[in-house]
Amino acid sequence: MVDARTSWAWPFPVRALVVADGERLLGRCAAVDGLFVDVAVPPREILTLRGCRPGPVPGHLGRAWIEGLIAGDPVRWWELDDAEILTVRAAGAGLVDVVLGAGVRSVDEMRGAGPATRFDLSGPGKRVVASADAADGLAVHRPPPPPRSLRLIGLEPLTAPGAWPGSPDSEVRVLPLDDTGRAMAKIWVYAPVEASAPSVLGGGLLDVRIPAYELPGQDARPAWEIWRRGRPREPGLWRDLDEPARYAWLDLTYGTLEEGRPDRSGGVHHLAGGDVTDHTGLHCALSEAIAGPGGYYGREWNAFRDCLGGGFGVVPPFTLIWHGFAASGRVFDRDPATGRTYQDDIVDLLRRRQVAVVPQ
- Specify if 323 maps to a domain: yes
- Domain end residue (candidates: 167, 199, 215): 215
| CATH number (domain holding residue 246) | 3.30.370.10
Four-residue CA torsion sign, 185, 191, 194, 197: positive
Q: Is the pLDDT of residue 214 over 90?
A: no
Lowest-confidence range among 1-10, 171-180, 249-258? 1-10
- Specify if 254 maps to a domain: yes
Beta strand residue intervals within the chain, DSSP E: 16-20, 24-29, 31-33, 44-52, 59-70, 73-92, 95-109, 118-122, 128-132, 134-136, 148-157, 172-176, 187-189, 195-198, 206-212, 268-272, 318-323, 355-359
pLDDT at 307: 95
Does residue 306 share a domain with residue 246?
yes
Does residue 329 share a domain with residue 226?
yes
What band does 111 get if pLDDT is binned at 50, 70 and 90?
low
Look at strands 148-157 and 134-136 and give their pairing: unpaired
Structural domains in the chain (count): 3
pLDDT at 168: 56
Does residue 67 share a domain with residue 197?
no
- Specify if 334 maps to a domain: yes
Q: Is the pLDDT of residue 165 over 70?
A: no
pLDDT at 1: 46
What band does 66 get if pLDDT is binned at 50, 70 and 90?
very high
Does residue 154 share a domain with residue 21?
yes
Does residue 174 share a domain with residue 34?
yes
Q: What is the mean pLDDT of residues 258-275?
A: 89
- Specify if 109 maps to a domain: yes
- Specify if 309 maps to a domain: yes
Q: Residue ranges of the alpha helices (H) in the chain?
A: 221-227, 243-254, 279-291, 301-308, 325-329, 342-352
Instruction: Assess whether the previous peptide bond of 165 is cis (omega < 30° from 0).
Output: yes
The C-alpha atoms of residue 116 and residue 329 are separated, in whole angstroms, by: 35
pLDDT at 39: 83
Does residue 272 share a domain with residue 187?
no
Q: Is the pLDDT of residue 34 over 60?
A: yes
The C-alpha atoms of residue 304 and residue 96 are separated, in whole angstroms, by: 30
What band does 123 get if pLDDT is binned at 50, 70 and 90?
confident
- Domain end residue (candidates: 78, 108, 136): 136
Q: What is the mean pLDDT of residues 306-315?
A: 93
What band does 272 get if pLDDT is binned at 50, 70 and 90?
very high
| Domain hosting residue 118, numbered range | 44-136
Lowest-confidence range among 69-78, 149-158, 307-316? 69-78
Does residue 152 share a domain with residue 13?
yes
Residues 94 and 54: beta-carbon distance below 8 Å: yes
**Single-letter amino acid, residue 359:** P
Q: Is the pLDDT of residue 36 over 90?
A: yes
- Domain end residue (candidates: 174, 199, 215): 215
Does residue 344 share a domain with residue 232?
yes
Q: How many residues does the chain have?
A: 360
Q: Is the pLDDT of residue 62 over 60?
A: yes
Q: How many C-beta neighbours within 10 Å does residue 313 have?
A: 19
- Specify if 141 maps to a domain: no
What band does 350 get if pLDDT is binned at 50, 70 and 90?
very high
Query: Tell me, what DSSP letter sits at residue 243?
Result: H
pTM for the full model? 0.82
Q: Is the pLDDT of residue 4 over 90?
A: no
- Specify if 83 maps to a domain: yes
Among the ranges 86-100, 126-140, 187-201, which has the highest mean pLDDT value? 86-100
pLDDT at 222: 97
Does residue 226 share a domain with residue 285?
yes
Share of the chain above pLDDT 70, in %: 95
- Specify if 32 maps to a domain: yes
Does residue 195 share a domain with residue 326?
no
Does residue 21 share a domain with residue 48?
no
Considering only residues 235 and 125, tell me which one the structure prediction assigns the higher pLDDT. Answer: 235
Does residue 23 share a domain with residue 159?
yes
pLDDT at 141: 84
